[in-house]
Structure 1
Amino acid sequence: MKEIARRCNVSVASVSKAINGYMDIGEETRNFILKTASEMGYFPNSSARTLKTKRSHNLGVLFMDEAMSGLTHDFFNHVLESFKRTAEEKGYDITFTNGNISGQKMTYYEHCRYRGVDGVVIACVDCNSEEVRELVNSEIPVVTIDHIFDGRIAVVSNNVQGMQELVSYIYSMGHRKIAYIHGEDGSAVTRNRLGAFHRTLHLQGIEVPDEYTIMSPYRDADGAAAATGQLLDLKDPPTCILYPDDFAAIGGINEIRERGLRIPQDISIAGYDGIIVARVLEPKLTTICQDTEAIGRIAAEKLVNLIEHPKTALIERYTVDGMLFKGASVKRIEPSQSKNKI
């Protein structure tokens, strides 16, 4: 760094600021220093930077869904890609956190300490587990996605807004017999979506029969297919079925087609999430497109801010709206064709 400073005729402090991305240095000076450093073959050493700044510039990612789908998860892989991209723009690397290092069992908190991460984003795990709560209650900065802990920053999809918009659209298409195959009981996402589903229809004077709501795990095509069959076998079946997510909806589509029924001519359906596959199906799936780019970006921005400015960072909940994709899987019908028998 002293050699770079001499070559550029600036102070060592200016070189350090340019290389470490500090903002209190002129853009022209920064670019000149970085260009000179590159020409001299200088490459910053992360270990040395950690000793000086007391930060590893490494963010932990705790992500593990029940299906163990990892980065093949249609929704969260886009969220985490946005998180990764934003973190890297701010000079941070990411490390996936789990409970095993070379076969040695560790808690999530122990793994984070072992890796020396500056902070952790928590997404799609069992947030009620003791290990997760140990991490959340620790000194390590934490931001959660789609789950709220007291005293922690959370970035959440607006599941209430999304479900209200989806159900309102289906209602506007004339449907009154609307069923909902929802995700696991107990999760905040399910509670909000299910509550918004019932409330939106209640405000229209419709009380949903108990047999119209069935639990099936998220991203479980087989479970969704079985639940679809259960609904279609009812004496008074629904005219439209909502699924917990677009991937699960594919299972429902298979069951419907195996019965010789057509979508949407014989039965209408809708999903949730807005994954790419949903928009290339035939017919295109009616769904709520969640803003995965914004969710990941905001999570990274708030976590980095919490790490770098702990005294001024606000502990808040940041809500991201989704957008209705009308698709073509919900048929317009006359309301008289879809009256519930209550």
Structure 2
Amino acid sequence: MATIKDLSLRCGVSVSTVSKALNGYQDISEATRELIIRAASEIGYFPDANARALKMKKTYNIGVLFSTLSNHGLRNEYFAHILASFKERAAKRGYDITFIEHNIGNRKMTYLEHCRYRNFDGVFIACAEFGDPEVLELVNSDYPVVTIDHAFNEAISVLSDNVEGMRQLTQHIIDQGHRKIAYIHGTKSSVTHNRLVSFNNIMKENGITIPEEYFKEGIYRSAESAEELAVRLLELPEPPTCIIAPDDYAALGVMNTARRMGLKIPDDISVAGYDGISVSQALEPKLTTIKQDTDKIGAEAAKQLINLIESPMTTSLDNIYLKVQLVKGGSVRNLNTI
């Protein structure tokens, strides 16, 4: 079995440098860290996890809370990319991830109890009902916590710039000549609030008044919910010319409903989404949407959480906003040419 001394000789560095690189110390360059990690893999060196935990007072294990709110679960492309990127970045820093569950064998426990049972170093909340008392208990605990898609004062939050994203999307639709724009928004959250505020502000800036019946509350990433709400919108005495869905999965539901009602997209009804998942660009017509950088969201969440674990006194609990990109598909008709 390879030893840490074997690894130091292989890399031409001291045993101390090897130890620091494998244990995530910040005073080791990224190039040296990658060299040592690659060499460790090549010679089959694995540090003793128990010895390392005792020495460093860390388990190098991060708890991931993914309490799915839809039937898609981990197959949901949006979350799958985020989690894959998070895991990859965490692994480079020497951390494993474990999903937080309610049950260990036959024993039922809260999220916080599971974290304490596993002795996690920190927690990443990827998908959850953020108002759930168990989630709030976890956020308010002494664990370092990073969330996505929701902001807490007690945690670092990694978010796409939803205000700017909705501004770009809505203004593009208006520039295409639309004035009757309906918005199926998600359930109450900081993401929903910011998107709604941005939507209403852009409407006001363009002198457009949207009737109350054009606003519908749906469920994020639920095509079924969007289908039902689309029927109500399209059956209005004065239906909208464009429907914005809370995300691309929901936009698929809107498009399905429109087609069942004999409507063509975008000739009879325009549809826009949010997220920029790959399937949205495989449709005909391609979906107009806002692309979120899911790989960057996951990588940034891992970076911030590990910084909070390793350097809590120099890592502030901030909201981190990432840029988004407008994708101009063919699902929004240009009414200016009529």
Shared fold, TM over 0.5: yes
Provide the residue aligned with 2:216 in structure 1: 214
* 2-structure distance, mates of 1:127, 1:287: 25
Q: Is the 8 A contact 1:141 1:307 kept in 2?
A: yes
Q: Is the 8 A contact 2:22 2:93 kept in 1?
A: no
Q: Looking at CA atoms only, which structure, 1 or 2, has the larger radius of gyration?
A: 1
Q: TM-score, normalised by structure 1?
A: 0.90
Give the 3 Å change call, closer, same or farther, for CA 25–208 of structure 1 in structure 2: closer
The percentage of aligned residue pairs carrying the same residue is 50
* 1-structure distance, mates of 2:71, 2:175: 38
Offset at residue 2 of structure 1 (A)? 7.6
Give the 3 Å change call, closer, same or farther, for CA 5–67 of structure 1 in structure 2: closer
* Runs of at least 4 residues off by over 4 Å: 5-12, 21-39
Q: TM-score, normalised by structure 2?
A: 0.91
* 2-structure distance, mates of 1:33, 1:83: 18
How many residues are aligned here?
A: 334
Structure 2 letter corresponding to 1:51: L
Q: Is the 8 A contact 1:61 1:95 kept in 2?
A: yes
Provide the residue aligned with 1:202 in structure 2: 204
Q: Is the 8 A contact 2:66 2:125 kept in 1?
A: yes
Secondary structure class of the residue paired with 2:314:
coil
Secondary structure class of the residue paired with 1:289:
strand
* 1-structure distance, mates of 2:298, 2:41: 32
Deviation string for 1:252-302 (max 9, x for gaps)? 111111121110111111011111110010000000011111111111101
Q: Is residue 189 of structure 2 the alignment partner of residue 180 of structure 1?
A: no
* 1-structure distance, mates of 2:80, 2:239: 35
* 2-structure distance, mates of 1:144, 1:195: 22
Provide the residue aligned with 2:139 in structure 1: 136
Deviation string for 1:230-250 (max 9, x for gaps)? 111111111111111111111
Deviation string for 1:24-71 (max 9, x for gaps)? 5687799589859965x5432212211111111111111113215321
Q: Is the 8 A contact 2:220 2:247 kept in 1?
A: yes
Provide the residue aligned with 1:70 in structure 2: 73
Q: Is the 8 A contact 1:289 1:325 kept in 2?
A: yes
Secondary structure class of the residue paired with 1:319:
strand
Offset at residue 11 of structure 1 (A)? 6.0
Give the 3 Å change call, closer, same or farther, for CA 238–316 of structure 1 in structure 2: same
Provide the residue aligned with 1:323 in structure 2: 325
Give the 3 Å change call, closer, same or farther, for CA 56–128 of structure 1 in structure 2: same
Structure 2 letter corresponding to 1:161: E
Provide the residue aligned with 2:170 in structure 1: 167
* 1-structure distance, mates of 2:8, 2:264: 75
Structure 2 letter corresponding to 1:91: G
* 2-structure distance, mates of 1:176, 1:317: 33
* 1-structure distance, mates of 2:34, 2:251: 52
Q: Is the 8 A contact 1:4 1:37 kept in 2?
A: no
Secondary structure class of the residue paired with 1:260:
coil
* 2-structure distance, mates of 1:69, 1:199: 33
* 2-structure distance, mates of 1:72, 1:252: 21
Provide the residue aligned with 2:295 in structure 1: 293
Counting only pairs closer than 5 Å after superposition, residues 85-164 of structure 1 correspond to structure 2 as 85-164=88-167
Give the 3 Å change call, closer, same or farther, for CA 50–167 of structure 1 in structure 2: same
Offset at residue 179 of structure 1 (A)? 0.6
Provide the residue aligned with 2:268 in structure 1: 266
Q: Which moved more, 1:51-60 or 1:26-35?
A: 26-35
Q: Is the 8 A contact 1:269 1:330 kept in 2?
A: yes
Q: Is the 8 A contact 2:21 2:32 kept in 1?
A: no
Q: CA RMSD in A?
A: 2.6
Q: Is residue 217 of structure 2 the alignment partner of residue 229 of structure 1?
A: no
Counting only pairs closer than 5 Å after superposition, residues 243-282 of structure 1 correspond to structure 2 as 243-282=245-284
Give the 3 Å change call, closer, same or farther, for CA 88–14 of structure 1 in structure 2: closer
Offset at residue 6 of structure 1 (A)? 9.9
Give the 3 Å change call, closer, same or farther, for CA 334–95 of structure 1 in structure 2: same
